[in-house]
Amino acid sequence: MIVLDHVSFTYREGEPDAVPALRDLDLTIEPGQFVAVIGHNGSGKSTLVKLLTAVLYPPTEGEVRIEGIPVRHETRWEIRRRVSVVFQDPDDQLVMNRVGDDVAFGPENLGLPREEIAERVDFALGAMGLGELAERMLDDLSLGQKQRVAIAGALAMRPRFLILDEPTSLLPVAAAMSLIRVARDLNRREAMGVIHITHSMVEAALFDRVIVLDEGRMVLDGSPAEVFRHVDRLREIGLDVPLAASLAHRLRARGLPLEGDILTETDLREAIAALPRPMTVKKERPG
């Protein structure tokens, strides 16, 4: 379990150019949860990732605990064994030339026995569908493939939580969706918690829980359906609402009785198909 107990973080605290990045964040993420954190740049997403991976510690106020261990200087290695992170640009993270060597890099640094390293590498490559690429050079891979290698490297650490720090923002949509499917599969099979940092609402709709950050505060937290109900609020923050959700909002305002939560294009189609027909739609809202 990840607990943020009234956490605030201010860069250059006490100085005239101090920047508050997180403000009184109080939140719990259960083991095995599949969570998306969304917000635009400057919302506090990156600071949150740094606190969860023991890159920044301790917070200015409050406490971060991962499986009961407070995140501090002395505990940073224990924390990093439990939480793995995959960054936006795989080139920032991949250190070896060959795919298999790169995935083995983390476990080797843990000083594990050779057989265990081999086992973990096989598992991680297999889980990411990279088995056949183990001998390939990283330079020959596409960005999407490199991103999978980066995730395999994180998986080989056998973390309790996998943090995906905007790994999809450089990928074409189809590759991004396939990456999220892989994360979902791992989440189900390995009961591994996944925290996906993104600014795409379309991606966030695929998670069980969506946390919206704005200017360091948590402004919305709930299922995608609950969060996407706040179309106007999300727009105000500057986030893109999926067109299906926004269109449903508009059609309802026109008096169309669309049923259920509409997050995706499929939801919209089903809701429109379920409308009693033929029907007459009024121009104004029914009074």
Which residues contribute to the site for other proteins (CB under 8 A)? 40-41, 88, 140, 142-144, 169-170, 172-175, 199, 238-240, 242-244, 246-247, 250-251, 254, 256, 265-266, 268-269, 272-273, 275, 278-283
The Cα–Cα gap between 78 and 60 comes to: 21
Residue 195 CB, nearest approach to other proteins (Å) = 18
Output Rg (C-alpha) for the chain, integer angstroms: 21
Residue closer to other proteins, measured from CB, 149 or 186: 149
Residue 210 CA to residue 222 CA, distance in Å, equals 6
Nearer to other proteins, 106 or 203 (CB): 203
**Which residues, listed in sequence order, are joined to residue 19 by a DSSP beta bridge?**
11
Closer to other proteins at the Cβ: 28 or 266? Answer: 266
Paired sense of beta strands 34-38 and 193-198, if any: parallel
Closest CA to 207 of 185, 223, 189, 220: 223
Q: Which of 137, 144, 141, 179 is nearest to 162 (CA)?
A: 179
CB-CB contact of 98 with 137 (8 Å): yes
- 157, 152, 24, 6: which is closest to 79 by C-alpha? 157
128: tokens are 């990411």
Is the Cβ–Cβ distance between 284 and 270 less than 8 Å? Answer: no
Nearer to other proteins, 55 or 247 (CB): 247
Provide the minimum distance between the beta carbon of 247 and other proteins in the complex, in angstroms, as a whole number. Answer: 6
Q: Which helix (H) or strand (E) holds 49?
A: helix 45-52
**Nearest approach, Cβ of residue 157 and other proteins (Å):** 26
According to DSSP, the residues that pair with 165 across neighbouring strands are: 197
- Name the minimum Å distance from CB 142 to other proteins: 6
- Closest distance of CB 259 from other proteins, Å: 15
In the bound state with other proteins, the residue whose beta carbon lies nearer, of 66 and 245, is 245
Q: How far is the CB of 169 from other proteins (least distance, A)?
A: 5
Q: Which is nearer to other proteins, 79 or 244 (CB)?
A: 244
| C-alpha to C-alpha distance for 120 and 125, rounded to whole angstroms | 8
Q: Which two tokens stand for residue 65?
A: 């605990």
Question: Rounded to the nearest whole angstrom, what is the least distance from the CB of residue 138 to other proteins in the complex?
Answer: 13
Between 110 and 256, name the residue whose CB sits nearer to other proteins.
256
